[in-house]
Amino acid sequence: MQAFTQETAGTRRFPRIGIRGDDAARRAWVIGSGLDVWEIVQMLEDLGGVERLVAETHHSERQVRLVMAYRDAYPDDVTDAVTRESPAH
């Protein structure tokens, strides 16, 4: 129940962020992008900045800034998702 409460609070705070996946591997995603938050965070790190990510992908600056705000609010969730999902890990 605590996880559900946290998810509800997160999606209210970040209305363009949804939660998907089964109970063991629930993860945040950016509605309208098709990508999980961790994937955009990884691209942001790989490309080195918001401007380059926006220029080289189909993501808007608004989406990227939303992902950054979500990452800052829930750093453990994003780090866990990167560790769990990223092929490099």
Q: Which residues of the chain have pLDDT under 70?
A: 1-11, 87-89
The tokens for 48 are 């080195």
b/e 58-72 (16+ beta carbons within 10 angstroms → b)? ebeeebbebbeebbe
For Cα atoms 69, 73, 75, give the angle at the middle one, nearest 5 degrees: 105
The pLDDT value recorded for residue 1 is: 46
d(CA 46, CA 53) in angstroms, rounded, equals 9
Domain around 10: 2-85
Spatial contact of 41 and 82, defined as CB atoms under 8 Å apart: yes
Domain count for the chain = 1
The pLDDT value recorded for residue 12 is: 74
